[in-house]
Chains A and B, each alone.
Chain A
Amino acid sequence: DTAVSQTPKYLVTQMGNDKSIKCEQNLGHDTMYWYKQDSKKFLKIMFSYNNKELIINETVPNRFSPKSPDKAHLNLHINSLELGDSAVYFCASSQRQGYEQYFGPGTRLTVT
């Protein structure tokens, strides 16, 4: 009965490959987010969607493309993976913009 779920939990791939991470929330929230957490635990917001509309698009390489097919889902597609993309990626949701966020368990991406 997980509130925010992500798949896969671990992702190991080679440079140059394309991969996707999926996120689903069953909380009925309007807003969803993608974050990148580096090895020093620094958490950086990448994207946010509100009611399927992109509202936050921080300085992220255009190899990263989010897609929200509906309010409950937010996927992240990454093209041409690079070593520096290795990190833990977290999905989160909130009832509305600015409200407290509920985080998924994370996807640990390792690019070799």
Chain B
Amino acid sequence: AQSVTQLGSHVSVSEGALVLLRCNYSSSVPPYLFWYVQYPNQGLQLLLKYTSAATLVKGINGFEAEFKKSETSFHLTKPSAHMSDAAEYFCAVTISGGSYIPTFGRGTSLIVHP
């Protein structure tokens, strides 16, 4: 069965600083990987996805993530944080050609200081 680990339940950065949110997965077959963002009192919104094409994936709002098979990682980055990036971020995995049960990480709360 697949699993997702997000390191750090909270990440705090200053406005303008680099954002790095970590996600590691385990899967015995090639995965589909996703990052979602959840703003307060809203549903989740897709930021970006990896589905076995380019390993560096660009998403909305200036975010990107790199799929590294050797490290089983799919970390999310943004060069310069904005106050509006403060939200909860979820990494998720489904297995291509498998049972397709989506598995979500426990989420990372991004705090942006002025």
Chain A positions within 8 Å of B, measured between CB atoms, are 4, 33, 40-45, 48, 55-56, 58, 90, 92, 97-106
Contact = CB atoms under 8 A, between A and B. Distances in A.
B106 A41 contact: yes
Interface in B41-57: 41-46, 49
Interface residues of B, number: 26
Given A41-B88, A42-B107, A56 B101 contact: yes
A40 to B, nearest CB: 8
Tell me which of A43, A99, A101, A106 has the highest count of chain B C-beta atoms within 10 A of its own C-beta: A43
B94 interface: yes
Nearest to B96: A98
A104 B102 contact: no
Contacts of B23: none
A7 B33 CA distance: 29
Contact of B90 (A40, A43, A92, A97): A43
A18 to B, nearest CB: 25
Given A43-B90, A98-B32, A103 B43 contact: yes
B34 to A, nearest CB: 6
Contacts of A58: 101
